[in-house]
Amino acid sequence: MTSAIHVKMHDEHRLWESEINHWRDDLRAWQHELAQAQSALARLEAALEAHARALRQHASALRLEEQTFAGHEHVLASYEQGGQGGELFELARQHSDEAQEHLNHRETHEHLKQKHRQIVAHWMALLKSLGETPAAAPPAQSPIVPEG
């Protein structure tokens, strides 16, 4: 072998060693980042449970609102069919509070919708980046919404 070939081989070895050192630096950084992500799993799980709890609470609040105005509708219908309507004055006084509560539910719903979409989008992106296939969509009737 000629000295030119030896020099070329030495140069390539130094280049490869430099690349390997760079790759090792990358690996150390990635291992550190992964360890941080793994240590955050408990916080992630707690945050997902808090979100699930918020969805359940919202579903319960909606069901209570439905029950309230269904009762009021019953009183109104009774009055319209000839009932005395003794409760109508009180219902009229409560109506503005109910309207405000409904507005609060609307705002809560929009906030939950945005947060949920963001969570699911990030989750799907994470699964995709890990080479996982996202689970099938849940059935139309979600188990979170209480049955009436």
Domain spans of the chain? Answer: 7-39, 42-129
Distance CA 99, CA 88 (A): 16
| φ/ψ of residue 142, rounded to 5 | -75, 140
> Would residue 48 be called left, alpha or beta, if left means φ above 0 and alpha means ψ between -120 and 50 degrees?
alpha
The predicted structure's pLDDT at residue 147: 45
Model pLDDT for residues 18-45, shown as the tens digit of each residue: 999 999 999 999 999 999 999 999 999 9
Which distant-in-sequence residues (6+ apart) come within 8 Å of 133 by Cβ?
Answer: 127
Q: Is the pLDDT of residue 79 over 80?
A: yes
Angle of CA points 75, 77, 81, to nearest 5°: 115
Model pLDDT for residues 90-126, shown as the tens digit of each residue: 888 889 999 999 999 999 999 999 999 999 999 999 9
Does the pTM exceed 0.75? no
